[in-house]
Amino acid sequence: MKLLKLFLFFVLITSIHAQELGKWNWNNPKPTGNTLQTSVLLNENNIVAFGEGATMITTTNSGLNWETTSIDSLGRTVNAVEKVSPLIWYAVGSGGLLVKTTDGGQSGFPLSTGFTDNFYDVDFIDADTGYITGAGGRVLKTTDGGLTWVAKNAGYTNNVYALQVRAANDVWVANSSTSAVKRSTDYGETWTTVAVSGLTQTIWDICWIDDQRGWLATQNGGRVYYTTDGGTTWSNTIVNNLIVPNFVLFLDANTGFVTNNNNGTIYKSTDGGLTYTGYATGTEPIYNISVFGSALVATGRYGSIYKSTDAGVTWVPLMNAITQKTFRRVKFVTEDLGYLLGGSSTTADSLGLIFKTTDGGATWSDMGANFKFLAYGLSMPSASTWFVSTGRNRIYKTTDAGTTWEWLSQPLFGTTAINEVAFADTLTGFAVTNSGRIIKTTNGGTSWDSLASPHGTTAIYAMHLFNANKVITVGGSAKAYMTTDGGANWTALTTNIPGNYFGLSFYNENHGVIVGYSSSANFVARTTDGGFTWTAYTPPANHTISNYGVVFEDTTTFWLLDQNGTMSRTTDGGNTWVQPFPTSFNGIFYATKIDRYLWAAGTGGTVLVNKWSSIIPVELTSFSASIVDGKASLKWTTASETNNRGFEVQRSIGDGQWSAIAFIDGAGNSLERNSYAFTDNQLLTVKTAYRIKQIDYDGTSSYSNVVELDPVAGMSFGLGQNYPNPFNPSTKIFYEVGTPSDVTIKLYDVLGNEVRTIVSAPHLQGKYYIQFDAEGLSSGTYFYRMDAGKFSQTRKLNLIK
């Protein structure tokens, strides 16, 4: 048989800026957020873990670095792996998956049993003879190393989850529903039922350490059953009556471990299973524990993987995860500045969270706001004024960019969720709920009015706000409505698709998509006239669950993402679709675009990023503001421009509201350096902020950094730390000029040799930044120094290529 490489889709986990163009990659958790069902330890530091979507992750240094691959081109889940020897392993999983390796996982080849059932467990007595158990009572046996398989009738019709070959002629299996333990003592030819008194529910796992002592992990009220006489009689211990034990492993007659389907607690026994003590890993359920020497490795839901070197008392995470709670929203303001919103999907944890990144997702920080309930909607009408909607009909407001939050009073009550909140500016906003209600404010949330909702009591899942007057809402029972007068009147939209509508996204004022789910017909509708007319399209048939996520690349190219993690992309407006190899098997709730990047977020802390384009539409290399004769003087420079209609200059005077004060035509398409300038003729009397909104010909836009001028406070000289740092290939250097001066900023290597002049020009008083491109430089540490008159300051930067 021809050997097929296991490493079908090798991806080295690095920063998002080095990712493969057009591919979805994990941003959180890392190295994967897919559930890890099992693992193999080659030594105490060399770990291979397997799970959903044929995921295989490998580390040789206990998780400091990971490589991620797939072992199956169909993306079938790996449920169990049997390491017969250091070189020979067998992996089984969903859809009849069976893969064998004979070189310790370096390569492998698929085998066929002739069945396509889901396989749950595998166990071999030697390199050639082994068994597989699976769905529908399936028990299979091979005696030639997996080349051929024979079905054995154990008398089951339900799923067989548990299997252990105690000896060549002593095979044990156990199943769901009927709770029957069966044993064969004639190599699988005949089977007898083993009586386990009081056991009435699913048996998830079985463990024997010799021919006398064995254990069963069951769904029976948190019980683990044990025998000391080879299975003739059984006793049980309630590990915890609030959990479902799903895995049991005993290392000897005394020391054993039990995991459960409810949480991340691992229970340890030191007396053969008479008593258990719980030890914490994380929040997510653990499904398996593997051992090598003194190392224990536990794997579980949403990419959970932990290691213990003190006999299971403490567990250290080998994955990186800011959280494994649910994210309902992801929003990016620039390629670097972004936010994640979510929390706990259950009331037990009472969490509502918001995270922030300032380096394009390389790192995230918890902003410290606990909204108490899962946060659903996020609107940012200004740099400092934001609104968040949550479960239990709550809306929160901040006017200091998330430092403090105020719970707003509004007319809704009860336990339903406010699924969406959207503001046209800092004063006028709308919110929609799971109970079909629509409320509106015109004073920044101080008071709210209930609008006559055309949805009745049917859930409203999504809303798009075009401006203070035009809004589209979509929800359950194929309902979609539009208002063009601020909510006074609503018009029913003919979307031409059935089902429930969960997602709504617009690329610009005209091009939008509604997505949802219906088992009977099309559930994608597209508009090209701002929502007045809609055309139905058929997505791929394997979108068999609710679709919340939809995100555009351009007017006819967009992605559909559902609650199974299934992704589909169309480049012709929905007529045809292409599906990439799946990255995530977790539900996606929201997706968004910012310049060259697509982001998606969902269950289990899932955050995915896709660098869909290498083209920077407009590469803004500098933007500065200074005060000249009491007026604001703005200057900016671009290194290149693509499809650039121009720049809208916006101003904010202390109230968080932005107003457009000018429009400067762009260069369209240009590979040359272009410089722009604008003077605000309004005399500066108070602290004032400015930003540039760059607008393409197709209506897409992006914003510059915000610069502030304060005519009262004055300025001093200063050199800021570059950002991001470390960086590749470019970084921003911020600096401040206190009085008109000749300014130079030069780059030096660690030996003090001048490498490059970054800035050399006369400057007016003001705050500046320069985009520094390190093209032609080697990786390493450098120093940059600013000189302006008597002022001099040096800082360090790190280039990583």
Cα within 13 Å of Cα(415), Cβ side:
2
Cβ(610)–Cβ(17) below 8 Å: no
Contact residues for 422 (Cβ-Cβ < 8 A; gap 6+): 377, 379, 429, 430, 431, 463, 464, 465, 471
Instruction: Of 577, 640, 637, 646, give the one whose Cα is nearest residue 771.
Output: 637
User: Tens of pLDDT along 79-133?
Assistant: 999 999 999 999 999 999 999 999 998 888 999 999 999 999 999 999 999 999 9
Is residue 271 assigned to a domain? no
**DSSP alpha helix (H) spans, 132-248:** none
Region 664-687: mean pLDDT is 87
Q: What is the pLDDT of residue 654?
A: 65
Looking at the fold, whether 691 and 725 belong to one and the same domain comes out as no
- The pLDDT of residue 347: 60
Q: Is the pLDDT of residue 745 over 50?
A: yes
Cα distance between residue 271 and residue 254, in whole Å:
5
Which helix (H) or strand (E) covers residue 152, if one does?
Answer: none
Task: Please report, rounded to a whole number, the percentage of residues in the chain having pLDDT higher than 90.
Answer: 71
* pLDDT at 9 exceeding the cut of 60: no
Residue 507 counted as domain residue: yes
Structure tokens at 663: 């429009």
Say whether both 460 and 557 belong to one domain: yes
**DSSP category for residue 108:** B
Q: What is the rounded average pLDDT of the residues 272-294?
A: 97
236 pairs with which residues across the strands?
225
580 has a pLDDT exceeding 90: no
In terms of average pLDDT, the best of 350-364, 672-686, 697-711, 726-740 is 350-364
Residue 100 is predicted with a pLDDT of 97
Same domain, yes or no, for 631 and 601?
Answer: no
- Are residues 149 and 143 in contact, defined by beta-carbon separation less than 8 angstroms? no
Average model confidence (pLDDT) across the chain = 91
Same domain, 678 and 663: yes
Find the mean pLDDT for residues 474-486.
98
When pLDDT is cut at 50, 70 and 90, the band that residue 708 belongs to is confident
> Which of 611, 639, 657 is a domain's end point?
611
Cα–Cα distance for residue pair 131/165, rounded to 1 Å: 8
For residues 665 and 560, membership in a common domain is answered with no
Residue 602 lies in a domain: yes
350 pLDDT exceeds 80?
A: no
Q: What is the mean pLDDT of residues 303-311?
A: 98
Reported as half-sphere exposure (CB side, CA atoms, 13 A), residue 244 has a value of 10
Residue linked to tokens 């709210």: 448
Q: Name the nearest CA neighbour of 218 among 176, 257, 254.
A: 176
Residue 699 confidence class, pLDDT cut points 50, 70, 90: confident
Query: 681 and 587, same structural domain?
Result: no
Q: Which of 28-32, 358-362, 711-715 has the lowest mean pLDDT?
A: 711-715
Burial class (CB in 10 A: 0-12, 13-18, 19+), 701: middle
- Residue carrying the six token digits 């048996």: 203
Q: Which of 656, 685, 708 is the last residue of a domain?
A: 708
CA dihedral 375→34→39→158, nearest 10 degrees, is 100
Last residue of a domain, one of 611, 643, 671: 611
Residues 662 and 800 in one domain: no
Other beta carbons within 10 angstroms of residue 107's beta carbon come to 13
- Say yes or no: 491 and 606 in one domain: yes
Q: What is the mean pLDDT of residues 257-284?
A: 97
Q: Which of 1-5, 232-236, 312-316, 475-479 has the lowest mean pLDDT?
A: 1-5
List beta partners, residue 464.
472
122 in any annotated domain: no
Give the three-state DSSP class for 303.
helix
Same-domain pairing of 526 and 644 = no
CA gap 62, 59 in Å, rounded: 6
Look at the chain and count its residues.
Answer: 801
* pLDDT value, residue 613: 66
Instruction: Label residue 8 by pLDDT band (50, 70, 90).
Output: very low
Distance CA 682, CA 548 (A): 46
The pair of three-digit structure tokens given for residue 177, joined into one six-digit string: 């529903």
- CATH at residue 620: 2.60.40.10
Beta partners for 652? Answer: 689
Q: Which residue has the higher pLDDT, 794 or 227?
A: 227
The region of weakest confidence among 222-231, 515-524, 587-596 is: 515-524
Supply the pLDDT for residue 14: 30
Within a domain: 89? no
What is the pLDDT at residue 406? 96
Q: 342, 374 in Cβ contact below 8 A?
A: yes
Same domain (yes/no): 607, 620: no
For residue range 393-443, list pLDDT tens digits in order.
Answer: 999 999 999 999 999 999 888 888 999 999 999 999 999 999 999 999 999
Q: Over the stretch 523-544, which tens digit does the pLDDT of each residue have?
A: 899 999 999 999 999 999 888 8
Phi, psi of 135 (to 5 degrees): -70, 155
Q: How confident is the model at residue 349 (pLDDT cuts 50, 70, 90)?
A: low
Q: What is the pLDDT of residue 10?
A: 29
CA dist., res. 557 & res. 552, Å (int): 6
Report the amino acid identity of residue 665: D
Q: CATH code at 585?
A: 2.130.10.10
**3-state class (DSSP) for residue 16:** helix
- The residue among 780 and 232 whose pLDDT is bigger is 232
In a domain, 490, yes or no: yes
- Count the Cβ atoms, other than its own, within 10 Å of residue 516: 26
Under the banding of pLDDT at 50, 70 and 90, the label for residue 714 is low
pLDDT digits (tens, 9 = 90+) for 749-768: 888 889 999 999 998 878 78
Domain count, the chain: 3
Please tell me the predicted confidence (pLDDT) of residue 713.
64
Beta-bridge partners for 295:
292
pLDDT of residue 447: 97
**367 and 419 housed in the same domain:** yes
Q: Which comes out higher in pLDDT, residue 718 or 319?
A: 319
- In terms of phi and psi (left: phi > 0; alpha: psi -120 to 50; beta: otherwise), the region of 303 is left
Counting Cβ atoms within 10 Å, is residue 67 exposed (0-12), middle (13-18) or buried (19+)?
A: middle
Torsion sign (Cα): 302, 10, 77, 611: positive
Residue 196 corresponds to which tokens in the numbers above? 């386990």
Query: Quick one: average pLDDT of 249-267?
Result: 98
Cα–Cα distance between 566 and 542 in angstroms, integer? Answer: 8
* Strand (E) or helix (H) holding 727: none
pLDDT confidence tier of residue 232, bands split at 50, 70 and 90? very high
From 343, 363, 320, 328, select the one nearest 600 (Cα to Cα).
328
At 5 the pLDDT is 30
Is 560 within the bounds of a domain? yes
Are 684 and 661 contacting, i.e. CB atoms less than 8 angstroms apart? Answer: no
| Confidence at 13, pLDDT banded by 50, 70, 90 | very low
- How many C-beta neighbours within 10 Å does residue 356 have? 15
Residues facing residue 224 across a β-bridge: 217, 237
- Asked if the structure places residue 312 within a domain, the reply is no
Non-local CB neighbours of 113 within 8 Å, separated by 6+ positions: 96, 98, 132, 140, 149
What pLDDT shows up at residue 180? 87
Domain that holds residue 689: 615-708
Q: Tell whether 441 and 572 lie within a shared domain.
A: yes
Which comes out higher in pLDDT, residue 668 or 259?
Answer: 259
Average pLDDT over residues 229-250: 96
C-alpha pair distances (Å), 1 with each of 7, 56, 112, 179, 659 = 18, 23, 12, 40, 69
